[in-house]
């Protein structure tokens, strides 16, 4: 199982970090060891002083696929959730300044929160609203209709380079509102009124 992530997929988020808006999806990977076990806290690692949350819609691949046509991409996932792509922003900035890959700042252990999965039936993932509260205050509010590259396009694009396997996860990018976490924070993600994850920071 692999975790495929999309960077800079919301124009407002790209702007808040001072990044250019890309023409093609910006893709990076997290290893499976990045998944935070259910009901366990997230411990701030000792190599960063600036860990940021990034709330995202996540889809789970349900069929083996390679070189998938965009018009058929919807057949390759049946479930979705929202999650968090934790990012060591200070480390990421240092790596970017040197023109180096981001993986150390993105793929470290327990850096991927995966919420409870829902069937896509009854939901329109092209205009899904989701939100995340930090200590009871809403800090991120996303709508997938604002994604620069929608889910089916991402799947088609990624499958040109990587064979998609059953159980692979695709993190589709975060809207504006990312921010730093501190010990004692509680992060709760929602789709509508449904709580998808509840993570304590230590």
- pLDDT tens for the chain, residues 1 to 202: 999 999 889 866 544 555 666 788 999 999 999 999 999 999 999 999 999 999 999 999 999 999 999 999 999 999 999 999 999 999 999 998 999 998 999 999 999 999 999 999 999 999 999 999 999 999 999 999 999 999 999 999 999 999 999 999 999 999 989 999 999 999 999 999 999 999 999 9
Q: What is the pLDDT of residue 65?
A: 98
Q: What is the pLDDT of residue 49?
A: 95
Q: What is the pLDDT of residue 21?
A: 63
Q: What is the pLDDT of residue 102?
A: 87
Q: Which residues contact 94 (CB under 8 A, 6 or more apart)?
A: none
The structural domains of the chain, with segments of one domain joined by +, span 3-200
Tokens of 52: 């940021």
Distances (CA, A) of 159 to 7, 72, 80: 17, 12, 18
Q: What is the pLDDT of residue 23?
A: 82
Q: Does domain 3-200 have CATH number 3.90.850.10?
A: yes
- Whole-model pTM: value is 0.94
- The CA distance from 175 to 54, in Å, is 8
């Amino acid at each position: 199982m692999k975790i495929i992530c999309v960077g800079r997929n919301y124009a407002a988020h790209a702007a808040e970090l001072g990044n250019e808006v890309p023409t093609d999806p910006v893709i990076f990977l997290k290893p499976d060891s990045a998944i935070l076990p259910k009901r366990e806290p997230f411990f701030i690692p000792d190599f960063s002083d600036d860990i940021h949350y990034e709330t995202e819609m996540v889809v789970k691949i349900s069929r083996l696929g390679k070189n998938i046509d965009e018009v058929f991409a919807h057949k390759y996932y049946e479930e979705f959730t929202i999650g968090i792509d934790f990012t060591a922003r200070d480390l990421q900035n240092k790596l970017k300044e040197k023109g180096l890959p981001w993986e150390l700042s993105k793929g470290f252990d327990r850096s991927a929160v995966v919420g409870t999965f829902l069937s896509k039936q009854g939901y329109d993932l092209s205009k899904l609203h989701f939100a995340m509260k930090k200590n009871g205050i809403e800090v991120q509010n996303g709508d997938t209709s604002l994604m620069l590259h929608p889910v089916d396009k991402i799947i088609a694009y990624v499958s040109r380079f990587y064979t998609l396997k059953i159980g692979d996860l695709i993190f589709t990018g975060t809207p504006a509102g990312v921010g730093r976490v501190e010990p004692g924070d509680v992060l709760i993600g929602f789709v509508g009124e449904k709580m998808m994850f509840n993570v304590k920071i230590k």
